[in-house]
Amino acid sequence: MQIAVHLWATGRGTISSLSFLIIRDVASVFRSDCFDTCFVNTYKSFIGHCQFLEPVLFQHIQFLRNSCVELCSVDLQKASRKASMSIQQLAKILKQGLLTKKKEAVKKICSWQYTSCIDLWVMFISANIHDYDLHPLLFTIIQIINGVAVLFSGPRYLPLRIKCIQWLNHLSSSTGIFIPVASMVLDILEYKIGKDVGKPGKDTNILFSKAYWLKSRNFQEQCVLSVIELLAAHFAQWSHHISFPDLATIPLVRLGKFHEITTIESFKRIVKRFIDQVEQNIEFVRKKRDEVPFSPKDQQSVESFLQLEKHSGNTSFTQYYKSIMDEAVSRNLAFFEKFSEAEEITKKAQKKIKLSQKERVTEGVNGRHSGKRKGTVSVDGGREEKMRRKENS
């Protein structure tokens, strides 16, 4: 089992996939005896590999996370107990950080291991909540995510804040439970932007941002794009709900104020397009709502409101949301391609440096011992060469 877990965690592609199949089969066949062992070993290995995470490893870490979720699905009863223990530990760490604000306590929370644990349990709950009663875990993990967002609310932690909102949106979408995120999203627009120092860069794939990036045009752009993408995802879940006009009112007011204040035309266009799409959907829902004969107390009728339109996926706002997500995927793909190219160039440069250093060392050795065979060193300290010089003189 230890060998299979090691190959699963450290291997790539086929080796990692086949190793996980062995782990899953053992846990499935010998469920009562081996599930705990399989889960504990894979969980520890997953967390261990999340200690130092680089963008080039993101896809592999996602595979490890998805594997853990699939393994948990083998025995939901035991997995839910393990998840409860882990989530309670996350809550204790967060509580310590919120109460003390000490550097070490806060550092534990703003770490790849802590956020990867949250990510794992968010995916586990989302995948299995309809098959097993995981609502106590759901409400606890929501409180933890909100606590993390409160603790790290400054512009430097924009990437972590975005991740928190994405988790909440994912939980809301998979469970069908309304989770308010609009205020948390719109607070991003309140970040104070410093004077542009002209340093390019994109920093959304780490937990916090470099200081110089906070003063760049890229940071301003990332703030605006993130707000639009996150709000679009949130609204898309409820764009066919009978209460959508009420849900969208305050966010539209705040976005309208930002549209009036900003002087950057590209930002104005992005925000105006979003506002127009939301207002169009508000009008659509309001018109349909005025036509229905049932009262708000008729829960069954409320739940069935516009469900045919929702499942068809042909409404204007749904199409707009898809285009927004496609653009986001394209940007992220371009970033990873640039990162991979940069990584390859760096490796080649490092290889050239090592080769040149090795050549200089070899030349230095050969220069000091030119009278000997290449690559040999005198063992008598050069006394023979000194005697020959005296005889010649």
pLDDT grade for 359, boundaries at 50, 70 and 90: low
CA 186 to chain centre: 20
Question: Mean pLDDT throughout 328-351?
Answer: 56
Tell me if the pTM is above 0.85.
Answer: no
Mean pLDDT of 315-344: 72
Query: 211 vs 71, 196, 199, CA distance in Å?
Result: 40, 12, 11
Distance from C-alpha of 108 to C-alpha of 85, rounded to nearest angstrom: 18
pLDDT tens digits, one per residue of 36-60: 999 999 999 999 988 877 777 888 9
Highest averaged pLDDT of the listed ranges 246-260, 295-309, 365-379:
246-260
| CA angle in degrees (0–180, nearest 5) for 144-148-154 | 160
Please state at what angle helix 76-100 crosses helix 58-72, rounded to 10 degrees: 130
For residue 216, give every residue at least 6 positions away whose Cβ sits within 8 Å of its Cβ, in sequence order, or none: 196, 197, 198, 199, 200, 201
Longest dimension (CA), the chain: 120
pLDDT for position 58: 84
Q: Is residue 136 predicted with pLDDT exceeding 70?
A: yes
Q: Are 284 and 202 in contact (CB under 8 A)?
A: no
**How do residues 152-196 score in pLDDT, each as one tens digit?**
988 889 999 999 999 999 999 999 999 999 999 999 998 865 444
Radius of gyration of the chain (CA): 29
Give per-residue burial for 237-251: e unless 16+ CB within 10 Å, then b: bbbbbbebbebbeeb
The tens digit of pLDDT for each residue in 88-110 reads: 999 999 999 999 888 888 999 99
Q: Which two tokens stand for residue 390?
A: 């005296």
Quickly state the pLDDT bin for 377 (edges 50, 70, 90): very low
Q: What is the mean pLDDT of residues 362-380?
A: 46
Residue at 348: amino acid letter: K
Report helix, strand or coil for 181.
coil
Percentage of the chain beyond pLDDT 70 is 78
Are 97 and 114 in contact by the 8 Å Cβ rule? The answer is no
The DSSP secondary-structure symbol of 297 reads: T
